[in-house]
């Protein structure tokens, strides 16, 4: 008999192991501080009487939810709130019982919300944190899977409902029984040219609670640009047998020998059981140029962010590509500012400059801009506001593709210059990375900038058949604008290497690390500004450049040594 009783007690206890009543939604950062609430939900099959149920947070004492017989049936909700009048005023016609209780404020920095049954068993608890979601004023924190783990951060997120919360209703983030969606639709290359192969890539995700079987991905060439997928525009249909719940599948389709012009593609998923078809399609617009350089050769080339009192800020864009680029609907973006370069057709030819300035006071410093040559374009915008402490800036095309971007920094200026007010930041070579500090330095022109003209510190990259070449060599980093930098061009024996580039003085002492364990392809270039690791100019003399490259596959090492000469004025 004792064994039977013990067995019965164990079975009774295990029936409570999985919570039937769960905390399902939490409003801990309401628009009004006195309008906090949380929602409980019955995930089980039994009706539960909430009489003498209690709740508490991490610091408060236990508080009774109700002393009345209030029944929570299967699949139904009850809202426990701080102020029922305010709750009803914000959310009209809540389809659930609302219970106002003695309240303990829920902490915005995170809290432990605990639900307790009449036998003082902890029915459910949630130790939420702000990074789980719901940390913005007026948005609730919703549970993804109601009968899932209560303390899994991945099972909670900010409400997506237009009302910012879903009290008494299914959570906005709750997966539907069947829901496929086209998560991404991208193209490669971004700027294809005529005759190239265009690769279209798709990522399909199953956000439903059930496996999706027998669905199609259809691709349409929207030739008439009406944004309607028509049968006579179908160019590819791919079938898939199965995709498990919360899993994704990647698919690629290539178009050979693509011709020039704008291409409009529509990708669409067809799944008969889908409960939400609004996320089943995406559009992709691609411009195919007649030249391989596309618009990718348009770069931010010069920045005057600190012109001095009474002078104009300005920024220069340069077309380093081999073809004309239409700047219509292109945009320049700062942290808080967006400026359209041109509302109508404006072609920037190869080698052309586009300057936009804050105001006409730019003419006081640069008279060459009063009479623009055919290769110069000038636009004024009072919205231009370049930060003197540095900031992120970018250029985007009419399709919102990022053409060039960087975060400039005053530290990029030549350290030999005691004051850089009224001196622009110039790009050393438009072919090199915009984001690299080594590709920028202070203008050396007597006017402080070269808008619409070749940069004063421009250094070209001369080709060589050697394993490593240094040009110019010697070079003189004295800030006069002539051969202040040298370009190290290298060729390796591997397509994928880990590379170190160091500079030693004639006595073998390390004076500068240009690259440390950088991943590199077979060829590349590095700019050397003649400074040591302490940012001080190195002395005139002969230095040794050491390149060590380790093949990531074979482990073989390439070692290249070249002399570098730093010169100076006599």
Question: Where are the chain's structural domains?
Answer: 18-158, 180-288, 295-458, 459-570
Q: In whole angstroms, how far apart are CA 407 and each of 52, 393, 440, 450?
A: 59, 6, 12, 21
**Cβ(378)–Cβ(371) under 8 Å?**
no
3-state secondary structure of 2: helix
Question: What distance in Å separates the CA atoms of residue 425 and residue 412, rounded to the nearest whole number?
Answer: 8
151-154: long-range contacts, CB 8 A cutoff, minimum separation 24: 151/125, 151/126, 151/127, 153/129
CATH of domain 18-158: 2.60.40.1260
Q: What is the pLDDT of residue 158?
A: 95
Query: Strands (DSSP E) along 289-383, which ranges?
Result: 298-304, 314-319, 325-326, 331-333, 338-340, 347-348, 353-357, 376-380
Give the single-character DSSP code of 386: -
Rounded to 5 degrees, φ, ψ at 266 are -125, 125
Signed CA dihedral, 32, 33, 37, 38: sign only:
positive
Q: What is the pLDDT of residue 5?
A: 39
Q: What is the pLDDT of residue 17?
A: 41
11 by Cβ neighbours in 10 Å (0-12 / 13-18 / 19+) ranks as: exposed
Question: What distance in Å separates the CA atoms of residue 39 and residue 41, rounded to the nearest whole number?
Answer: 7
Question: What distance in Å separates the CA atoms of residue 450 and residue 457, rounded to the nearest whole number?
Answer: 10
Within 10 angstroms of residue 381's Cβ, the number of other Cβ atoms is 18
Going by CATH, does the domain composed of 459-570 fall within 1.10.10.10? no
Question: What distance in Å separates the CA atoms of residue 55 and residue 23, rounded to the nearest whole number?
Answer: 11
What's the whole-model pTM score? 0.48
Same fold, 180-288 and 295-458: yes
**Cβ(399)–Cβ(287) under 8 Å?**
yes
Rounded to 5 degrees, φ, ψ at 71 are -95, 135
Q: What is the pLDDT of residue 2?
A: 43
Tokens of 189: 């290359």
> Mean pLDDT, consecutive 10-residue segments, the chain of 570 residues?
39 47 97 92 95 93 95 97 94 94 93 96 96 91 94 94 94 93 90 84 94 97 90 96 95 91 91 93 81 63 95 94 85 91 91 94 92 90 92 90 90 87 92 84 91 86 60 86 86 78 85 85 87 89 85 64 82
Strand 77-81 to strand 97-100: parallel, antiparallel, or no bridges (unpaired)? parallel
Question: What distance in Å separates the CA atoms of residue 172 and residue 127, rounded to the nearest whole number?
Answer: 21
Question: What distance in Å separates the CA atoms of residue 266 and residue 227, rounded to the nearest whole number?
Answer: 7
Give the largest CA-CA distance in the chain.
109
Tokens of 170: 């299914």
Task: Quickly list DSSP for 210-274.
Answer: S-EEEEEEEEEE-TT-SS---GGGEEEEEEEEEE-TT-EEEEEEEE-SPPSEEEEEEEEEE-TT-
Homologous superfamily assigned to 180-288? Immunoglobulins (2.60.40.10)
Query: Strands (DSSP E) along 104-223, which ranges?
Result: 111-116, 122-128, 141-143, 156-158, 180-188, 198-206, 212-221
Q: Which residues of 196-231 are buried (b: 16+ CB within 10 A; e: fewer)?
A: bebebebebbbbbeeebeebebbbbbbeeeeeebee
Give the single-character DSSP code of 136: S
Enclosing H/E stretch for 84: helix 84-90
**Cβ(417)–Cβ(480) under 8 Å?**
no
| 191, 196, 199, 200: CA torsion to nearest 10 | 60
Q: What is the pLDDT of residue 81?
A: 96
Q: What is the pLDDT of residue 562?
A: 87
In angstroms, how far is CA 152 from the centroid of its own chain? 25
In the chain, the percentage of residues whose pLDDT exceeds 90 is 59
3-state secondary structure of 391: coil
Going by CATH, does the domain composed of 295-458 fall within 3.40.50.1370? no
Residue for token digits 């609907």? 329
Task: Quickly list DSSP for 454-514.
Answer: --TT-------SSSEEEESSSB--SSSSSS--EEEEEE-S-SSEEEEEEEE-TTS-EEEEE
**Share in percent of the chain as helix, strand, coil (round to 5):** 5, 40, 55
Question: What distance in Å separates the CA atoms of residue 314 and residue 145, rounded to the nearest whole number?
Answer: 53
């Amino acid at each position: 008999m004792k064994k039977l009783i013990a067995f019965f007690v164990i079975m009774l206890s295990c029936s409570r192991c999985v919570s039937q009543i769960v905390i399902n939604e939490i409003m801990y950062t309401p628009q009004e501080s006195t309008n906090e609430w949380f929602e409980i939900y019955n995930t089980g099959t039994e009706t539960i009487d909430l009489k003498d149920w209690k709740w508490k947070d991490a610091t408060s004492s236990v508080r009774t939810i109700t002393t009345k017989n209030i029944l929570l049936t299967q699949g139904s909700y009850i809202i426990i709130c701080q102020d029922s009048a305010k709750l009803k005023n914000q959310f009209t016609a809540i389809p659930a019982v609302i219970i106002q209780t003695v309240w303990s404020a829920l902490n915005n920095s995170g809290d432990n919300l605990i639900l307790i049954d009449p036998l003082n068993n902890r029915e459910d608890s949630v130790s939420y944190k702000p990074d789980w979601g719901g940390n913005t004023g007026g948005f609730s924190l919703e549970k993804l899977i109601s009968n899932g783990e209560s303390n899994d951060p991945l099972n909670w997120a900010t409400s997506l409902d237009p009302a910012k919360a879903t009290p008494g209703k299914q959570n906005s983030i709750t997966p539907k029984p069947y829901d496929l969606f086209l998560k991404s639709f991208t193209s490669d290359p971004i700027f294809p040219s005529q005759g190239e192969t265009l690769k279209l890539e798709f990522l399909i995700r199953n956000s439903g609670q059930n496996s999706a079987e027998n669905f199609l991905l259809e691709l349409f060439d929207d030739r008439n640009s009406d944004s309607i997928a028509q049968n006579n525009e179908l160019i590819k249909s791919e079938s898939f047998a199965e995709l498990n719940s919360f899993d994704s599948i990647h698919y690629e389709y290539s178009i050979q020998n693509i011709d020039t012009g704008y291409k409009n593609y529509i990708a669409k998923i067809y799944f008969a059981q889908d409960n939400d078809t609004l996320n089943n399609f995406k559009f992709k617009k691609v411009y195919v140029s007649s030249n391989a350089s596309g618009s990718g050769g348009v770069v931010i080339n010069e920045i005057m962010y600190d012109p001095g009192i009474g002078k104009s800020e300005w920024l220069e864009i340069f077309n380093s590509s081999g073809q004309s680029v239409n700047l219509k609907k292109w945009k320049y973006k700062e942290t808080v500012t967006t400026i359209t370069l041109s509302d109508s057709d404006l072609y920037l030819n190869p080698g052309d400059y586009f300057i936009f300035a804050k105001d006409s006071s730019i003419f006081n410093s640069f008279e060459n801009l009063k009479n623009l040559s055919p290769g110069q374009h000038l636009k004024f915008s009072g919205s231009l506001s370049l930060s003197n402490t540095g900031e992120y800036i970018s250029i985007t095309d009419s399709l919102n593709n990022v053409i060039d971007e960087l975060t400039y920094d005053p530290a990029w200026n030549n350290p030999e210059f005691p004051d850089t007010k009224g001196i622009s930041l110039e790009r050393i070579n438009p072919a090199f990375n915009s984001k690299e500090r080594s590709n920028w330095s202070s203008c050396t022109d007597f006017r402080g900038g070269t808008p619409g003209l070749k940069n004063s510190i421009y250094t070209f990259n001369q080709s060589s058949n050697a394993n490593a070449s240094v040009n110019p060599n010697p070079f003189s980093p004295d800030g006069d604008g002539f051969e202040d930098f040298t370009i190290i061009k290298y060729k390796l024996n591997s397509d994928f290497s880990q590379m170190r580039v160091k500079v030693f003085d004639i006595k073998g002492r390390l004076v500068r690390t240009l690259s440390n364990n950088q991943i590199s392809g077979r060829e590349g270039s590095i700019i050397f500004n003649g400074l040591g690791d302490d940012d001080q100019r190195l002395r005139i003399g002969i230095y040794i450049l050491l390149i060590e490259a380790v093949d990531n596959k074979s482990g073989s090492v390439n070692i290249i040594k070249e002399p570098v000469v730093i010169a100076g004025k006599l």
